[in-house]
Structure 1
Amino acid sequence: MGPSSSEAPTGKILIVDDHQVVLSGTIDILRQNYPTYTLVTAKTAQEALEQLASHSLDLAILDLSIPGEPQEEAKVEHGIELLRQVMRQYPEQNIAIQSTHVKALVRVRSEIDSHQGGFTTVDKSMSSQDLVQRIDGALKGFSYTRDIKAIKSGIELKPEWLDVLTLAFHEGLQDKAIAQQLNVQPSTIRHYWNKLYDVLAIDPEIDKKEGKNLRSLTEIRARERGLLD
């Protein structure tokens, strides 16, 4: 349970979610458990950054699938980029991720591990009691990141590898076009693919002999592990 009213803690909590039903539900739970806290809300990444710049926040509760700006489509990429900016600009900010896309946080695992503020995750399917427990932890500066599973021990995901996945499977680009987009040589893109095969436990020789399409297999594995939406 959250702190009792007799303790009368005060502070501000930001809730970022573009679904009004979820937003209202989270607000109701927070009002019951943190009645003396001021709640502020945002429905886009842009609004969230504006709220962060305007308030000294005790906690930011972030959904990942949100619009970047008003009228934009909600995408996990927007939430991940917002999280990156928040951790970069506010390295001691307490953060709770409340999302159905928690596994996508593997894309920024190393940055999360370096974050100095509290950091917890809450799947939207969890109970309100679990939500309050995770919020309590984040408010106290604790970290709970066991829900973010590393893909392969000892291998750090590079941003450029994720760019290749996005350009290939979201934009439908071939290697030459990807190289132009990233301003590198095509041979570099082939190197990135080899790194991705390693990360995703794909053996090109064996999988080819078994009749598997490497790009299709890469897409399947990347989606399973939260690297693609």
Structure 2
Amino acid sequence: MTDPIRILLVDDHPVVRAGLSGLLSSQTDFVVLGEASNGQEALAFLQQHPADVVLMDLRMPQMDGVSATRQIRAHFPGVRVLVLTTYDSDSDIVRAVEAGATGYLLKDVPREELFRAVRLCAQGEAVLSPPVAARLLGRMRGPGEVSLSVRELEVLSLVAKGLSNKEIARKLKISEATVKTHLLHTFGKLGVDDRTAAVTAALERGILRLEG
């Protein structure tokens, strides 16, 4: 039996935290370690209690979600940050992803999608909800100068849809090692270091287009 995913909830609204806590606690593979009302409290909590995933709101007093995400990724690199917010502006999304967020969801996300996103983020998989991907797509500045191979595009498009390396390998009938190789080549071409940044860069440059 695998260990449960340890979650920290960060939101300045107590009612939202209580609702999320009840929702996530319904899953046997989740454990809600605690709650914080701003980024400073989140950092202090993580110093005492190791978490796997931080569910992060963006706009909070004292320290906002973007600043907190940047600090968490710097000081607790093993902790994944999943942004869960009502804000879907271009600048909010890009700032959060650039700060190191592994995923970005809106608060009207269906519960099953939220559960799936938490599980994927715990594995280090990128998660962008369709409305967020669409916002990034709207930031396209024209055709991208970077040229990805057909297979690299296939792999990256499946990453954008939230599939894990194992799922991508199964779908494309290739080995998981080959998937990783394609991703490393893609990272190099796009000048990024991780899956979420690769999807963001490809969408912004018009290299990748998501259906739906």
For the criterion TM > 0.5, the same-fold answer is: yes
Aligned to 1:85: 71
**Which residue of 25, 33, 42 corresponds with 1:39?**
33
Q: Residues 98 and 109 of structure 1: is their aligned pair in 2 closer, same or farther, counting only changes over 3 Å? A: closer
Residue by residue, what CA displacement relative to the aligned partner does 1:90-136 show, whole Å, maximum 9, x if unpaired?
23321211111244121244443xx7xxx122210111111111111
Q: Residues 111 and 43 of structure 1: is their aligned pair in 2 closer, same or farther, counting only changes over 3 Å? A: closer
The reply on whether 1:105 has 2:99 as its aligned counterpart is no
For residues 47 and 13 of structure 1, what CA distance do their matches in structure 2 show?
A: 14
Residue by residue, what CA displacement relative to the aligned partner does 1:148-191 show, whole Å, maximum 9, x if unpaired?
51634569xxxxxxxxxxxxxxxxxxxxxxxxxxxxxxxxxxxx
For 1:98, what is the secondary structure of its paired residue? strand
Letter in 1 for 2:84: Q
Letter in 2 for 1:141: G
Which stretches in structure 1 are left out of the alignment for 5+ residues?
A: 1-6, 70-77, 156-229
Q: Residues 106 and 34 of structure 1: is their aligned pair in 2 closer, same or farther, counting only changes over 3 Å? A: same
For 2:54, what is the secondary structure of its paired residue? strand
**Which residue of 11, 17, 20 corresponds with 1:26?**
20
Alignment size in residue pairs: 136
RMSD of Structure 2 on Structure 1 (CA): 2.5
Q: Larger Rg: 1 or 2?
A: 1
Asked whether the 8 Å contact 1:121–1:134 carries over to 2, the reply is no
Q: Residues 32 and 105 of structure 1: is their aligned pair in 2 closer, same or farther, counting only changes over 3 Å? A: same
Letter in 1 for 2:35: T
Letter in 1 for 2:26: Q
Residue by residue, what CA displacement relative to the aligned partner does 1:188-216 show, whole Å, maximum 9, x if unpaired?
xxxxxxxxxxxxxxxxxxxxxxxxxxxxx
Letter in 1 for 2:33: L
- Give the superposition deviation at 1:66: 1.2
For residues 74 and 110 of structure 2, what CA distance do their matches in structure 1 show?
A: 30
The reply on whether 1:13 has 2:7 as its aligned counterpart is yes
For 1:101, what is the secondary structure of its paired residue? coil
**Which residue of 101, 105, 121 corresponds with 1:138?**
121
**Which residue of 98, 118, 123 corresponds with 2:106?**
123
Residue by residue, what CA displacement relative to the aligned partner does 1:26-81 show, whole Å, maximum 9, x if unpaired?
00111101466242110111111101111111111111111116xxxxxxxx2211
Which stretches in structure 2 are left out of the alignment for 5+ residues?
A: 146-212
For residues 71 and 88 of structure 2, what CA distance do their matches in structure 1 show?
A: 18
Aligned to 2:186: none
TM-score using structure 2 length: 0.56
